[in-house]
Amino acid sequence: MNARSEKIETMLERLRTERDELRVRAHLAKAEMKEEWEKLEDRWEDLEARAKAVREEASDASKDVGSALEILGDELSQAYRRIRNRLQ
């Protein structure tokens, strides 16, 4: 094998290794995002249910729940932004 062939073989091996590592990382990232998304969906359902309860009541307790809803909504917004940024 001449020097050029060895250089190409070395490059291919390096790229093959890098490609394999990236494939694993990409797969793990997809799984991680899917898991995070499922958790966010659960929180979204919780937010919708609580919001419905607040709309139906006009008591002081609903004000506390409303504040908690705002916090949960902010958390969901930040989490969605993180996912969107990771997908770019």
Write out pLDDT tens, residues 3-33: 766 767 778 878 888 888 877 877 777 887 8
Longest dimension (CA), the chain: 84
What's the pLDDT at 60? 61
Measure CA of the first residue to CA of the last residue in the chain; give whole Å. 43
Write out pLDDT tens, residues 60-82: 666 676 677 778 888 888 888 88
- pTM, whole model, 2 decimals? 0.58
φ/ψ of 2, rounded to 5, equals -85, 175
Give the start-to-end residue ranges of the domains of the chain.
Answer: 3-87
Q: Are 76 and 43 in contact (CB under 8 A)?
A: yes
What's the pLDDT at 63? 66
